[in-house]
Structure formats: C-alpha cells, structure tokens
Amino acid sequence: MSNQKDKEKAAKAAGGRKGRMLRWMPLGLLLVLLILGVSQGWHHHLSLSEIIRNKQLLQDWVVNHPVRIAVVYMTIYIVAVAVSFPGASLITIAGGFMFGWLFGGMMTIVSATIGATVLFIAARSSLGATLKERAGPFIGKMASGFRQNAFSYLLFLRLTPVFPFWLVNIAPALFNVSLPTYLMATFIGILPGTFAYTFVGAGLGSVVEAQEALNPGCAAAGTCEIELRALITPEIVWALIALGIVALIPALTNHLRQRLAAQGGAGEPHVNRDNNR
C-alpha cells in the first residue's frame, strides 16, 4: 500500500516538474535567441551609420523585391521584439527609410504588435503562473486594480517613451491582463511613436544629402555626423508623454469616482432602528 502511494507521489512530482518545464520553455527559447543574437554581434549592425552606409543597397532591394523585402523586414521586426533585441527603434527608422513613413509605419505597427504578443504569451505562461503560485494579498490587490483599468494603464505605458518596450510587454503578463485588451492597447498605443520614428526614417535621405554636401563621401564611409538624439527632438518626446497622460484620464476619473462614492457611503447618517420603533 505504501509502495503504491510512493509511486503516486513520485509520478505527481514528475508531472509537476514536467509542467513547470513546459511553462518555462517558450520564455527560455526566446532568451536563447536573444543570447545568440548578442553573441553574434547582430546588434552592432543596428546603427544610423550602418543604415546610411547601406542606404543604396536597401533602396535597391525594395525596388527590385518589394514584397519579399517587406516580408523579411516584418519577420526581423517580430523576432527582434519577441526576444527584446536592442535597437528596435533603429529598425523602425530603417523601415521608414525603405518603405516611407506610411507603409513603413503600418508594417512596423503590425510586426511590433505580433512580436510583443509572442513575448506576452510566453511570459504569462511562465512568470504569470509562478507569480500566481507565490503571490501574497498585496500582489493580488495590485493585479485586481491593474485589471480594472488595464486598457488605460497599458495605453499610458505604450504612449510614454520613458518605459522600456520589453518591460511593458512583460508587465501585463504578471497581472493576468486579457489578451484582447493587451492587443488593442498595444496596437493603439504604439501608433504615435512608430509613425514619429518612421517619419524620421523617411526624411533620413535628405539629411544624408545635406551631410554629403558638407562632407562628400561620408555616407559610403559611414562618417556622416548624424545622431539619433538630433532626429528625435524633445518636442516629439514631450508630445508622446502628453498623449500618455491623456490616456490615464479615464483611469484617474474612475478612481476618483470610486473614492467619492466610498466617502459618500461612509458619511451617511447611521439610523438607529431600535429608537424609531
């Protein structure tokens, strides 16, 4: 009898370990891809100087193979976002340079949403499950509050360019945000920033031409003095922050309404039914 129970316990423990391994496998695979990319130095190719140096090659690719290059671009972007590879903003600029701000922006938004969703699902299957197992009452209250206003909070995080994109992809998974809410807030939230960067990319050619006039041959040599900080102006950043604050208005209004309702309920006079009989 004891041997049978021991076998059942062992089988249950083995099943638990297998379940945990399966939960962590998607996130582990993304981590392996990230380590592989960094170890191979792929991130060194994500720079303005590389885009400028290869500008003619990129333009020729688009002219000769528009559909194929568009598919390759979107695939690269999806993988880069899913594994949180550094330099997604530069890929966005390259997309605007190659395809124009409108088509480049549309392809980037779709790709970024897909890549972010892949990471969200992977994180929810591992980190979210682990947090549920170990979460205390405080975390539970945070999760409940986040879910009540998930769309507004996510929209704020997406619009405001001060939070790392990879962190915003993972954080909702910890609070069990629904997939439709995550998709909608992500798609809408990245619209302004994405088009701002693709617009910069679309105008990169004229900037390079101006640099070439001052320093002939700098594009091919990769020595044109163009910095990302000079292209992404403070006005753009503050505009995105302002949009993020506007996105918080529904959540703040809801919070204020709940507080006023609670105070109103607490301030109602207590009626002593025994004295009114």
Q: Residue 81: inside a domain, yes or no? A: yes
| Cα–Cα distance measured from residue 250 to residue 17, given in angstroms and rounded to the nearest whole number | 43
Q: Residue 3: inside a domain, yes or no? A: no
Q: Residue 157: inside a domain, yes or no? A: yes
Q: Residue 7: inside a domain, yes or no? A: no
Q: Write the Ramachandran bin of 44: left for phi over 0, alpha for psi from -120 to 50, otherwise beta.
A: alpha
Amino acid sitting at position 234: P
Q: Residue 277: inside a domain, yes or no? A: no
Helix (H) or strand (E) holding 52: helix 48-53
pLDDT in tens, 124-172: 877 655 545 444 454 555 566 566 778 888 888 888 877 788 888 888 8
Q: What is the pLDDT at residue 231? A: 67
Q: Residue 134: inside a domain, yes or no? A: yes
* Cα 137 to chain centroid, rounded: 28
Res. 67 pLDDT band, cuts 50 70 90: very high
pLDDT in tens, 221-271: 666 666 666 566 666 676 677 777 766 666 666 666 666 666 665 555 554
Q: What is the pTM of this model?
A: 0.70
Q: Residue 19: inside a domain, yes or no? A: no
| Residue numbers of the domain that contains 193 | 26-262
Residues 6+ apart with CB under 8 A from 239: 192
> What is the DSSP secondary-structure string of 204-225?
HHHHHHHHHHHSTTHHHHT---
Q: What is the pLDDT at residue 74? A: 95
Hey, what are 226's tokens? 């163009």
Mean pLDDT of the chain: 74
Q: Count of alpha carbons within 13 Å of 165, Cβ hemisphere only?
A: 21
Instruction: Count structural domains, the chain.
Output: 1
Residues 6+ apart with CB under 8 A from 117: 179, 182, 183, 186
Q: Residue 1: inside a domain, yes or no? A: no
Q: What is the pLDDT at residue 135? A: 45
| Cα–Cα distance measured from residue 95 to residue 77, given in angstroms and rounded to the nearest whole number | 10
